[in-house]
Amino acid sequence: MKYIEKNPIIMIIIGVIGISLSSIFVKYSAAPSAVTAAYRLIWTVLLLSPAVWGKREVRKELLSAGKKTFLLSSLSGVFLAVHFVLWFESLSHTSVASSTTIVCTEVVWVALGFAVFLKGKISRKAILAMGIALFGSVLIACADAGGETHLYGDVLALLAAIAVAAYMLLGRIVRKNTSTTVYTYVVYVSCAVALVIMCAISKVSLFAYGYSAPVVGLLLSVFSTILGHSIFSWCLKFFTPSFVSASKLCEPVVAAVLAGVLFGEIPSLLQLAGGVLVLGGVYYYSRIEKE
């Protein structure tokens, strides 16, 4: 552990690989998107529960949390569930490169939501950055317009980005008075419940697809959630938030390379140009936000 703390960049690399594997794992699931997402969250809750309930101070905070905290955290979990279903479904219709890149526009929608609903202010530089990212998304959509369902997949990825932005905005409100551990746990539990309800409403069985869904769900939970997003939170102890945010932008690149090797998905020049603009715009915005 001391070696890792002296060389935290190792954890950044592990985190990037972890989140990049998310779209790859989803491609291997034979189950509907809601089922795959449900298993991811069920496994995540099961793996985190011992750590949450085993610590007295965390357990005490969780049990004493107010109704507003639970309500907003639960609503945040519902938006996260919608995000997972839309994003996983988009991967069935468009390329990994297009889907993961478009989902990266979440920061644009977070900024717009912050301005509209939380009365925040957006600078001209930020507007320019968001415009660049959105224009890049348009280029990707144009590149995919000739595909049978690629454009539909791109739209789903865009809606997934908006859904996760709503999840982030609610989290910003709740975490003012709630620890990250308690907030995250309530979100994951409500997200898992929401996904199971979605499956029930859609009359989709959680047990009709053999080992595919639970195995992929476990891999997503371990690699993409715990060894992915959780590691980035840990890395904030050693790196600036801007560096950690910029590191996450490696996800579409690594995921696209893996998809090219495993699935033969080779991005077109227009897709590459759009991807560069999206990631460049998002990176530029992350730098502006820290000024």
The span from the CA of 213 to the CA of 187, in Å, is: 21
Domain ranges of the chain: 2-289
Please name the residues in contact with 59: beta carbons below 8 A apart, sequence gap of 6 or more.
Answer: 52, 53
Return the structure tokens found at 266: 């080779």
Please name the residues in contact with 122: beta carbons below 8 A apart, sequence gap of 6 or more.
Answer: 111, 112, 114, 115, 130
The span from the CA of 127 to the CA of 143, in Å, is: 24
pLDDT value of residue 72: 94
User: Is the Cβ–Cβ distance between 247 and 14 less than 8 Å?
Assistant: no
Residue by residue, pLDDT tens for the chain (291 residues) are 566 767 778 888 898 999 999 999 999 999 999 999 999 999 999 999 998 999 999 999 999 888 999 999 999 999 999 999 999 999 999 999 999 999 999 888 988 888 888 777 888 888 898 899 999 999 998 887 766 688 899 999 999 999 999 998 898 888 888 888 889 899 999 999 999 999 999 999 999 998 989 999 999 999 998 888 778 877 767 776 667 767 888 899 999 999 999 999 988 899 999 999 999 988 888 777 665
User: Is the Cβ–Cβ distance between 204 and 88 less than 8 Å?
Assistant: no
The span from the CA of 53 to the CA of 55, in Å, is: 6
pTM over 0.85, yes/no: yes
Output the DSSP codes for 217-259.
Answer: HHHIIIIIIIIIIHHHHHHTTTS-HHHHHHHHTHHHHHHHHHH
pLDDT digits (tens, 9 = 90+) for 183-205: 989 999 999 999 999 999 999 99
pLDDT digits (tens, 9 = 90+) for 147-195: 668 889 999 999 999 999 999 889 888 888 888 888 989 999 999 999 9
What residue type is 283 in one-letter code?
Y
